[in-house]
């Protein structure tokens, strides 16, 4: 029994689920109040709650936010790829049946603000879902519609034949339900190998699309994925055997994520993306240490980036420090930088090159985390020399470090930043996190020396601030 059902019973003073008086008292509550409660939980929980009363049975079809997820069809999260085949089919049929029932009985005058459907790519169920959604789009107003389409296998287990097979199934689904795809605002796809024209056809049909996520999707080994769309706001690409992603023409794109590219070239080619402001790049050892990324080249056509996240997955440093003379023109709009998961075996002083090249940077966050399971690289540091020993930064206001330890690497870095950032107001120092797997197997793990007592914290602050010229007070916080 769901938490919502129990909560409603408790609210109404019911002791038993089958208590008739309990069911009768539900009818005394106004529909607006009940809908307000039901829309705070998943649609599946709302449906389960509504079986308590005949009066409530009409309410699921009146919800303005509908979310049906195959992973929660039995009340708790279950990955469909972990289920027996028959159980997976049963769960997927339940999503299709519930979608058809709710949408088919919905009053036509009521707007659906959010329709969020997660299901497995099985053609029989997909066609039922697609046709129900297409009919609803033709007869009712829908503000936001999302398809998250899973596959029977996890991406890491898929063979090339699996990817091709899933790609063909998606094409069949798409061809039969283009009206449904035409109304989508969010599309999440995974484990697909596209034909040459497949992705352009999907993008050309999904004209309302604002968010697109591709996980383990490509057009073949070493392929290039090209994107053109008038309304897309966010694009997320994870894994895949592609070589390059070309953002040809995306006039509304604001956020881009590229995770785990399997080559040693720049993963992105930026065309017309005049509004792109947030870029997140993740990688782990695939890029060659002999050809690290140059941000000046990668971002040459997108000087609009305001928020930059680089995640190194506790492995090799795959960006090259560059002179501010070269880099400043592409970082002129940068306000926030997150450098995630730097390996504990590396120094962090090299990260100052970004501060030197981004004059309007306001927040810098560095996370140091040993999550390499004991694997260390020969290259344990990045060579970098400051261009100007008297460098000053006029806009940095906040420095945050996760994984702080009271040694020269960290304390010397904080001192250097505070010396350069003449208007810094806050320094937040957090203890490091440890991978549970590393801790259990005692791999690459050492006891944290993070300051705990007030005496230890005061000693750190004294060493950090020693020799600094007196200026506006800077708050140094130990957050863990």
CA 191 to chain centre: 17
Query: What does pLDDT average to over the chain?
Result: 87
**pLDDT value of position 336:** 98
Task: Give 149-173 pLDDT, tens digit per residue.
Answer: 999 999 999 999 999 999 999 999 9
Asked if the model's pLDDT at residue 308 lies above 50, the reply is yes
Which of the four pLDDT bands, split at 50, 70 and 90, describes residue 436?
low
Residue 435: pLDDT band (50, 70, 90) is low
pLDDT at 350: 94
Confidence tier at 12 by pLDDT (50, 70, 90): very low
Tokens encoding 358: 């981004």
What are 89-101's pLDDT values in tens digits? 999 999 999 999 9
Tens digit of each residue's pLDDT (9 = 90 or more) over 237-254: 999 988 899 999 999 999
Q: How many residues does the chain have?
A: 480
Q: What residues have CB less than 8 Å from 241, skipping those under 6 apart?
A: 218, 220, 221, 222, 223, 262
**pLDDT value at position 421?**
94
Nearest to 293 by CA among 272, 322, 270: 322
Question: CA-CA-CA-CA torsion for 49, 53, 54, 57, nearest 10 degrees?
Answer: -10
38-57 tens-digit pLDDT: 887 778 888 887 776 777 77
Sign of the alpha-carbon dihedral angle for 324, 325, 331, 334: positive
The token pair that represents 408 in the structure block = 């020269």
Share of the chain above pLDDT 70, in %: 86
Residues 6+ apart with CB under 8 A from 110: 62, 64, 140
Sheet strands side by side (includes 224-228): 224-228, 244-249, 268-272
Query: Angle 43-50/3-11 helices, nearest 10 degrees?
Result: 40
> Cβ of 108: how many Cβ atoms within 10 Å?
8
Q: Which residue has the tokens 């993963």?
A: 267
Hey, what are 407's tokens? 């040694």
244, with CB counted inside 10 A (0-12, 13-18, 19+), is middle
For residue 194, give every residue at least 6 positions away whose Cβ sits within 8 Å of its Cβ, in sequence order, or none: 167, 217, 218, 219
The dihedral sign for the CA sequence 6, 9, 13, 18: negative
**128-142 pLDDT tens trace:** 999 999 999 998 889
Kindly indicate the confidence band of residue 379, based on its pLDDT and cuts at 50, 70 and 90: low
Give the Å distances, CA to CA, from 480 to 402, 435, 457. Answer: 9, 17, 11
* 12/23 Cα distance (integer angstroms): 9
Burial 73-102 (b: 16+ CB within 10 A, else e): beeeebebeebeeeebbebbbbbbebbbeb
Element (DSSP H or E) covering residue 22: helix 20-26
- Split at pLDDT 50, 70, 90, the class of 372 is low
Q: Half-sphere exposure of residue 136, counting CA atoms within 13 Å on the CB side?
A: 32
Is pLDDT at 7 greater than 70 in this prediction?
no
**Res. 442: pLDDT tops 60:** no
Per residue in 309-360, pLDDT (tens digit) is: 999 888 888 899 999 999 999 999 999 999 999 988 889 999 999 999 999 9
What is d(CA 261, CA 268) in angstroms, rounded to the nearest whole number?
A: 10
- Determine the angle formed by the axes of helices 123-139 and 160-176, rounding to 10 degrees: 30
Distance from C-alpha of 390 to C-alpha of 86, rounded to nearest angstrom: 69
Q: State the first-to-last Cα distance of the chain, in angstroms, to the nearest integer.
A: 38
Average pLDDT over residues 192-200: 95
Q: Are strands 268-272 and 307-311 parallel, antiparallel or unpaired?
A: unpaired
Residues 6 or more apart in contact with residue 451 via CB below 8 angstroms: 406, 457, 459, 460, 478
- Residue 349, SS3? helix
DSSP 193-224: E--TTHHHHHHHH-TT--EEEEEEEESSTT-E
In Å, what is the CA distance from 213 to each residue of 88, 149, 150, 175, 256?
23, 10, 12, 20, 10
Average pLDDT of the segment spanning 415-427: 94
The conformation of residue 342, written as its DSSP 8-state character, comes to E
Does the pLDDT at position 235 exceed 50? yes
Got the DSSP string for 262-315? Answer: -SSS-SEEEEE-TT--EEEEE--S-S-TTS-B-HHHHTTT-TT--EEEEE-TTS
């Amino acid at each position: 029994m769901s938490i919502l059902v129990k909560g409603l019973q408790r609210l109404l003073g019911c002791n038993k689920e089958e208590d008739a008086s309990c069911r009768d008292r539900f009818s005394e509550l106004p529909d607006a109040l009940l809908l307000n409660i039901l829309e705070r939980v998943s649609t599946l929980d709302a449906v389960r709650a509504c079986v308590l009363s005949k009066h409530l049975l009409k309410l699921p079809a009146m919800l303005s936010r509908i979310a049906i997820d195959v992973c929660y069809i039995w009340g708790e999260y279950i990955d469909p790829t972990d289920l027996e085949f028959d159980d997976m089919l049963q769960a997927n049929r339940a999503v299709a049946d519930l979608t058809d029932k709710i949408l088919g009985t919905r009053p036509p005058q009521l707007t659906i603000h959010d329709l969020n459907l997660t299901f497995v790519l099985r053609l029989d169920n997909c066609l039922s879902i697609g046709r129900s959604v297409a009919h609803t789009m033709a007869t009712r107003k829908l503000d936001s519609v999302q398809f998250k389409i899973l596959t029977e296998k996890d991406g890491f287990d898929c063979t090339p034949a699996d990817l091709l097979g899933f790609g063909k199934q998606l094409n069949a689904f798409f061809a039969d339900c283009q009206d449904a795809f035409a109304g989508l605002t969010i599309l999440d796809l995974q484990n697909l190998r596209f034909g040459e024209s497949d992705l352009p056809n999907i993008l050309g049909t999904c004209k309302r699309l604002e968010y697109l996520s591709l996980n383990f999707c490509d057009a073949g080994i070493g392929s290039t994925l090209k994107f053109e769309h008038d309304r897309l706001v966010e694009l997320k690409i994870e894994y895949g055997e592609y070589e390059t992603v070309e953002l040809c023409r995306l006039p509304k794109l604001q956020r881009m994520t590229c995770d785990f590219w399997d080559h040693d070239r720049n993963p992105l080619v930026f065309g017309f993306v005049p509004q792109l402001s947030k870029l997140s790049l993740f990688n782990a050892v695939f890029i060659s240490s002999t050809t690290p990324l140059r941000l000046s080249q990668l971002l040459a056509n997108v000087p609009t980036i305001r928020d930059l996240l680089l995640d190194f997955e506790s492995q090799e440093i795959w960006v090259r420090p560059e002179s501010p003379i070269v880099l400043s023109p592409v970082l002129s709009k940068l306000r926030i930088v997150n450098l995630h998961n730097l390996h504990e075996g590396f120094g962090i002083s090299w990260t100052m090159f970004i501060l030197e090249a981004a004059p309007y940077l306001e927040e810098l966050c560095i996370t140091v985390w040993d999550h390499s399971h004991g694997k260390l690289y020969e290259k344990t540091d990045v060579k970098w020399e400051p261009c100007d020993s008297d460098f000053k930064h006029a806009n940095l206001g906040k420095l945050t470090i996760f994984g702080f330890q009271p040694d020269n690497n960290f304390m010397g870095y904080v001192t250097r930043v505070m010396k350069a950032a003449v208007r810094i107001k806050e320094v937040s120092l957090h203890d490091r996190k440890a991978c549970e797997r590393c801790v259990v197997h005692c791999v690459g793990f050492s006891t944290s020396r993070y300051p705990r007592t007030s005496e230890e914290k005061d000693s750190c602050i004294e060493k950090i601030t020693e020799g600094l010229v007196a200026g506006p007070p800077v708050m140094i916080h130990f957050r863990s």
